[in-house]
Chain A
Amino acid sequence: MKNELISGGEIFIRSLKDHGVGTIFGYPGGAIMKVFDALYDYRKTLHHVLVRHEQGAIHAAQGFARSSGEVGVCLVTSGPGATNTITGIADAMIDSTPVVVIAGQVSTDMLGTDAFQEIDLVGVTQPITKWSFQIRNPEDVAWAVARAFYIAKSGRPGPVVLDFTKNAQIEKAQYRPTTIDFIRSYVPIPATELGAVECAAALINTAQRPLVLVGQGVELGDAQKELLAFIEKAQLPVACTLLGLSALPSNHPLNKGMLGMHGNLGPNVNTNNCDVLIAVGMRFDDRVTGNLATYAKQAQVIHFDIDPAEINKNVPVDIAVLGDCKETLVAVTEQLVPTRHAEWLKTFTSYEREENEKVILPELHPTNDHLSMGEVARAVSEATAHKAILVTDVGQNQMMAARYFKYTQNRSIITSGGLGTMGFGLPAAIGATFGRPDRMVCSFMGDGGLQMNIQELGTIMEQKAPVKIILLNNNYLGNVRQWQEMFFEHRYSFTPMMNPDYGEIAGAYGIPFKRATTREELQEAIAEMVATDGPFFLEARVIEEGSVMPMIPPGGTVSQMLLEC
């Protein structure tokens, strides 16, 4: 019926379906009941994943978005339901993840009265969203959803919040399917200047020692193939940021490894040896640059980015190539002269050898009986033929997994990079299993971060979400412990942590469990984990005082990495 009047709640659900949404992560509550009531009629085609805490919902939506490239959707109630998503919204903002959070809100006539479960959600989330909007009447619902999806996904992606008042959910209006692909005040992709493309190509053509820094922008822009053509034509060595690790296969000869505080020696040192630094879709985070006063001062810098605000933000840039890197990389590649840079490429080898001897081999083949974090990560990566999606929590588990996993496919690392949110890993992994049901999802956790959102084991149980949990248990908040060891004279202030019996916990949730203390047990447990259909919980009891190396100490210079602590 064309002119039928339906509730704002139903308009909302139909709008979601019309925007291709198939999965929602949420938690009901008083101020969002009308939407949940409407959802009940659509539950067969719109799958709602009931999480155990709203923080789980937002991180799951992030995991969904990061794995699939689609917008993640999170549905919660007002007040505490909404504030519980704040950490994830901030996380999505700093890591450019497209999510739409819909939160209930008290009725319009109650706004500003400190009503039950009322908070000024738009006010609270404005600084940490791309867009935040309050829906106050049912006629605006379809428009607001259309705008939210367009803004979240276009240009540099990011989180959008819709604050949905109760009366707008209940009151009726006609549903007019709406899509938006133009907002006059919003330019998602800035125009590329032809001159910038020419200058960039000319500079790269004259470079003797070029180095390409690849960030998540390449994955977000779906420009992995374009990147490959670009670097291969002029034989440009590449270093990846944490979030950009799977933009280029790990085994590609031009992939020289990871940048940053716990990255690889070669790319970090050579950042201060290169003559032209070519940043693509990355934002010169301080964990990548170390001390800016000594960062790449010798180099001319070219920056490809979709966000003009990233240009000259941290590192002064000589040539800015604005635009979509899927197009700008092609335009620059066309003007590149095939080159070899053989001498320059060779310089990475000695650093690789040094890091291998002093760090990597001892980590992968420890001479003592304790399992190392790195060997667990590598073993899991190998057992999955390097094809799994790696989800990590934050801390040593994150750095070790990122370093020792190998990546063969795009969008294979989901980790909280900018915000560094402990508790991210478990719910994000749940989201990833829905975003890419065809791929295995391995979630590396520490004993600290696992317990920050451990309630989501309930979601895994209920959804039978095939998350492979790999707990690197060292009975410490390991990363902080490492800093205390290195910079605070071994004063282990509140980093030792008493742990529960994780076997019993996994058992209570009906999740198959294996504990590994020895190498034999580890191999057996991994084999069983990979062969198991559905979720699995592998607890690796790793060396207690293991450290992530190499390291650029905080405030240090990229070319002066510590190889031993």
Chain B
Amino acid sequence: MENKLYTLIVHSENFAGLLSQVTAVFTRLQINIESLNVSASSIEGVHKYTITACTDRNNIEKVVKQVEKKIEVLQAQFFTDDEIYSHEIALYKVSMSEFESQSEASKVVRQYNAHIVEVNPVFAIVEKNGSSEDISALYRELSALNCVLQFVRSGRVTIPKSCIEPVSQYLNDRAKEHTNKKKK
């Protein structure tokens, strides 16, 4: 099976120690995590993990099932890039002298729709929001101009293109089941 980049979205209860359990699933299946982003979700008390990894479909399905087995995990789902809209943020620290001496440099920054967010006599900081590809492409161009001192990028924030919010659906279904169980 073909390897490609998958994005795994996990919703969980806010429970200490869960992150290592989730990442351990990847380790055990010998899959490297490319990026990882953990934050509170839009639902109170529910945390969201966005994890990207390069693997095949068979393996990512196994990851999802194993992650869902963790008691405090509400739901795990995987997506391919065409099923999601995702963004990253990147910061490029560029040398002021190199930057100023090459007019090409500020042209590139404008072309990529990046912004300069900090300027001082030694360096400037360029910020870029966008796709992984654009962020990498900007890095390559600035590097070719020899002006990048430092480069950092975030993990992904991802939103599926589908209109259904499966985790809300899951929580509603579970709430109903709980009520029915109590009635019995």
Say which size band chain A's interface belongs to.
20 to 34
Q: Flag if B69 contacts A185 (CB, 8 Å).
A: no
Q: Is the CB of B12 within 8 A of A185?
A: yes
Residues of chain A with a CB closer than 8 A to B171's CB: 184
Task: Check: A349 CB closer than 8 A to any chain B CB.
Answer: no
Check if A312 is an interface residue, CB within 8 A of chain B: yes
Q: Does A181 contact B (CB under 8 A)?
A: yes
Q: Which residues of B contact A130 (CB under 8 A)?
A: 71
CB A143 to nearest CB in B, in angstroms, measures: 14
Q: Is the CB of A309 within 8 A of B69?
A: yes
Chain B interface mostly: helix
> Within the complex, what minimum Cβ distance (angstroms) separates B166 from chain A?
14
CA distance A313 to B69 in the complex (A): 14
Q: Counting CB contacts under 8 A, is B81 at the interface?
A: no
> B178 contacts A184, CB within 8 Å?
yes
Q: Choose from A186, A308, A311 the contact partner of B71 (Cβ within 8 Å).
A: A186
Per-position binary interface string of chain B over residues 157-184, scored 1 when its CB falls under 8 Å from any chain A CB and 0 otherwise: 0000000000000010011011001000
Point out the residues of chain A lying under 8 angstroms from B113, CB to CB: none
Tell yes or no: B54 within 8 A of A by CB: no
B21 at interface (Cβ–Cβ under 8 A)? Answer: yes
| Interfacial chain A residues near B73, Cβ < 8 Å | 185
Residues of A within 8 A of B98 (CB): none
Q: Which residues of B contact A151 (CB under 8 A)?
A: 71
CB distance from A273 to the nearest CB of B (A): 27
Say yes or no for B140: interface residue by CB 8 A criterion.
Answer: no
CA A130 to CA B69, docked complex, whole Å: 8
Partner of A182 from B13, B21, B62, B181 at Cβ < 8 Å: B181
Q: Does A348 contact B (CB under 8 A)?
A: no
Known A308-B68, A309-B65, A312-B61; judge A185-B24 contact (CB<8 A).
no
Residue of B nearest to A156 (CB): B69
- A123 at the binding interface (Cβ < 8 Å): yes
Q: CA of A402 to CA of B177 in the docked complex: distance in angstroms? A: 42
Contact mask for chain A residues 308-352; partner B; CB cutoff 8 A; 1 contact, 0 none = 110111000000000000000000000000000000000000000
A186 neighbours in B (Cβ, 8 Å): 71-72
Residue in contact with A126 in the complex, picked from B21, B61, B65, B178, CB distance below 8 Å: B21
Task: List B contacts of A185 (CB < 8 A).
Answer: 12-13, 71-74
Given contact pairs A151-B71, A182-B178, A122 touches B61 in the complex (Cβ within 8 A): no
Asked if A308 contacts B13 (CB within 8 A), the reply is no
- A309–B71 Cα distance when bound, in Å, is 14
A window 169-196: CB within 8 A of B: 181-187
Given A182-B181, A184-B171, A185-B12, A122:B68 Cβ within 8 A: no
Q: Which residue from chain B places its CB closest to the CB of A131 in the assembled complex? A: B71
The residue in chain B whose Cβ has the minimal distance to the Cβ of A312 is B61
**A127 interface residue per 8 A CB criterion:** yes
Chain A nearest Cβ from B91, distance in angstroms = 33
- Determine the chain B residues whose CB is within 8 A of the CB of A131 once the complex forms: 71
User: B66 at the A/B interface (Cβ < 8 Å)?
Assistant: yes
When the two chains form their complex, are residues A122 and B175 in contact, meaning their CB atoms are under 8 A apart? no
Chain A nearest CB, measured from B17 CB (Å): 6
Q: Which B80-130 residues have a C-beta within 8 angstroms of A?
A: none
Give the docked Cα–Cα distance between A429 and B29 (Å).
Answer: 35
Tell me the complex Cα distance, A404–B73, Å: 44
Q: A564 CA to B89 CA in the complex, in Å?
A: 66
B66 — which chain A residues lie within 8 A by C-beta? 309
Task: Give the nearest-CB partner of B66 in chain A.
Answer: A309
B30 at the interface (CB under 8 A from A): no
Q: Using known A-B contacts A185-B74, A313-B62, determine if residue A126 contacts B20 with beta carbons closer than 8 Å.
A: yes
Provide the residues of chain A in CB contact with B62, threshold 8 Å: 309, 312-313
User: Can you name the residue of chain B whose Cβ is closest to the Cβ of A160?
Assistant: B71
Q: Tell me whether A122 and B65 are in contact (CB under 8 A).
A: no
Q: Can you report 9 residue pairs joining A to B where beta carbons are below 8 Å apart?
A: A126-B20, A182-B178, A182-B181, A184-B174, A185-B12, A187-B174, A307-B69, A309-B62, A312-B61
Task: Give the 3 A-B CB pairs with smallest separation, nearest first.
Answer: A309-B65, A184-B174, A185-B74
